[in-house]
Amino acid sequence: MKMNLLRNEKGIALVMVLILSLIALAVVSTLLYLVLQGTKSSTYFKTYESTLDAGHGGAEIVASLIFNRGNLDIPGLGPLLLSHKTPVEPCVCGFDADPYDEDYPLPSPDTCLCRKLCMPAYKSDGTYSWGASGAGACDSNGASMDPLDNPDVQFSLAGVSTSYQVSAKIIDTTVGVTDLSGEQLSCGTGSAYPCEGFHGMPTPYLYRIEVNSQDATATNARERSRLSILYAY
């Protein structure tokens, strides 16, 4: 009697169907999970790429700002520069008769932005050059690493269903004597200028720039990009 019960195969089909259904459900669930995760990853990557592109746009604009010596007007973007840093005319770096004394002549006009374009942020003893007394004295955080902290350039770029806030900031300057063409930038002409007859190896100005771009429509930005740029003028 026991042998007959053990060899009874009634209901085996139902058990097999349940097992196969469970396997099929697991396979379908795995496929759905992979598709959903792939869609999410693609969306995140697309959002980040858009934010990064906005950052590249900011880098191009701040490079043009330096190239034009602080005088930049791009129609369609609105006011690019913060009001207390906007020069009324292109910056002209003062002539330094002794480039080794670390007494940097103030630029013309004397604005924070012009100081950043013409003077290093700190002297060798740690003195904050950009904050020296005068009309164009920069705030104490003018050389901080965070481009959102008192930026030199800030504007919005429109995207699909959102916009991106771009902030750029010059955080350090290495003073040179020429631009990349070899033109003397820190010397006039005539006998009053002792360096007028001396033309050494071209030494361009170097600027370190931090650029931040992020979603401007969210309280806590979902995506942001940060670029560090070394620009030779």
Give DSSP secondary structure letters for 199-227. Answer: --S--B-EEEEEEEEEESSSSS-S-EEEE
Residues forming a β-bridge with 204:
178
Reported as a pLDDT band with limits 50, 70 and 90, residue 127 is very high
180 against 175, higher pLDDT: 175
Mean of the per-residue pLDDT values of the chain? 79
157 against 180, higher pLDDT: 157
pLDDT of residue 100: 78
Closest CA to 87 of 73, 74, 77, 75: 73
Reported as a pLDDT band with limits 50, 70 and 90, residue 117 is very high
Closest CA to 183 of 209, 204, 159, 152: 204
The tokens describing 120, both together, are 């290093």
> Residue 131: how many CB atoms within 10 A of its CB?
18
The C-alpha atoms of residue 68 and residue 56 are separated, in whole angstroms, by: 18
Has residue 154 got a pLDDT over 60?
yes
Has residue 84 got a pLDDT over 60?
no
Reported as a pLDDT band with limits 50, 70 and 90, residue 208 is very high
Name the least confident of 57-61, 64-68, 69-73, 130-134.
69-73
Has residue 5 got a pLDDT over 60?
no
